[in-house]
Amino acid sequence: MPESKQANVRQGNTLPRHVAIIMDGNGRWAKQRHLPRIAGHRAGVKSVRRVVEQCIDKRIRALTVFAFSTENWRRPQKEVGLLMELFLNALEREVKKLHQHDVQMRIIGDRSRFPAQLQRRIEEAEQYTASNTALTFTIAANYGGRWDITRAARELGRAVASGELDADDISENALQSRLALADLPEPDLFIRTGGEQRISNFLLWQLAYTEFYFTDTLWPDFGKESFAEALESFSSRQRRFGRTSEQVEKEKVV
């Protein structure tokens, strides 16, 4: 076992508290099977269910998944419409079960552009599961990291304009507290499936010190073993947060 890993194990720090995932590759998965892209998205919902179960099993506190970006409106109208339908159906089907497992559901992103019925379902799901504590499961839908930061900046601007906040008091904390996920620990582990190695405007601020894990596995093929591999990779990393490796080792070996 490498030194850094031993230290991690000793610290009992092998599991992430918060995992963030870009679920990519649904379209290619469908294409490989000569199926319409929506079949890939449907298979992708099953992968979400598997990962949620794994998080509950392993007592990971928070899971955030990227379901629809602010740029995904640029896709063919038909695919966007079917994705909205799928989102609505999945919410209707899964919420009860998630509630039984003590999962709190949240949706981050600008929901105002969604069909009215979907907006209502989202609100219901959030209210219904609001007091659950085993896992905070957040779905980023019509979300963009830039949207998130811009919105927080706008709120800061309003607070300054109303005299509630002094411009000199705009700190990292003041901005952070106005972002989505402000009350959760920042993601420890970021996973992107589907082979691309980019953030695609996901959690830009919140990923500042997150460990990145990229896999070629397409999202519908991402199962229990794939998740275990990602966790295994995470547990072998040494997180230094700007310090030297020697400093980190010293702190851990007590």
Q: Residue 99 touches which of Mg ion, ligand IPE, none (CB < 5 to 8 A by kind)?
A: none
Report if residue 148 touches Mg ion, rule: CB under 5 A. no
Residue selected from 19, 22, 135, 191 as contacting ligand IPE according to rule CB under 6 A: 22
Cα separation of 102 and 100, whole Å?
5
Q: Does residue 148 belong to the site contacting ligand IPE (CB under 6 A)?
A: no
How far apart are alpha carbons 51 and 45 in whole angstroms? 10
Q: Which of 26, 57, 72, 102 is catalytic?
A: 72
Assess whether 201 carries a catalytic annotation: no
- Does 24 engage in binding with Mg ion (CB under 5 A)? yes
Residue 196 touches ligand IPE, criterion: CB under 6 A: yes
Name the segment binding ligand IPE (CB under 6 A); options: 22-30, 97-105, 111-119, 224-232: 22-30
Q: Which stretch binds Mg ion (CB under 5 A): 18-26, 32-40, 136-144, 231-239?
A: 18-26
Burial class (CB in 10 A: 0-12, 13-18, 19+), 87: buried
| DSSP three-state, residue 163 | coil
Give the H/E segment covering residue 130.
Answer: none
The answer to whether the beta carbons of residues 245 and 223 sit under 8 Å apart is: no
Cβ proximity of 58 and 100 under 8 Å = no
Say if residues 108 and 138 touch (Cβ distance below 8 Å): yes
Is there binding between residue 234 and ligand IPE (CB under 6 A)? Answer: no
Q: Determine the size of the site formed for ligand IPE (CB under 6 A).
A: 17
Q: Which is nearer to ligand IPE, 36 or 174 (CB)?
A: 36
Q: Which is nearer to ligand IPE, 128 or 205 (CB)?
A: 205
72 catalytic? Reply is yes
Q: 8, 24, 26, 142: which one is catalytic? A: 24
Distance CA 171, CA 194 (A): 37
Q: Do residues 145 and 153 touch, judged by C-beta distance below 8 A?
A: no
Among 67, 156, 181, 191, binds ligand IPE (CB under 6 A): 67
* Nearest distance in Å: CB 203, Mg ion: 17
Tokens of 161: 């304009």
Give the DSSP H or E segment for 104.
Answer: strand 103-108
Rounded CA separation 220/24 (Å): 9
**Contact residues for 185 (Cβ-Cβ < 8 A; gap 6+):** 17, 18, 61, 62
Q: Rule CB under 5 A: is residue 211 a binding residue for Mg ion?
A: no
C-beta separation of 74 from 148 below 8 A: no
Using rule CB under 6 A, residue 27 touches ligand IPE: yes
Considering the complex, state which of residue 187 and residue 248 has its C-beta at the smaller distance from ligand IPE: 187
Annotated active-site positions, please? 24, 72
The residues that touch Mg ion, with contacts defined as CB under 5 A, are: 24
Contact set with ligand IPE (CB under 6 A): 22-28, 66-69, 72, 83, 194, 196, 198, 200
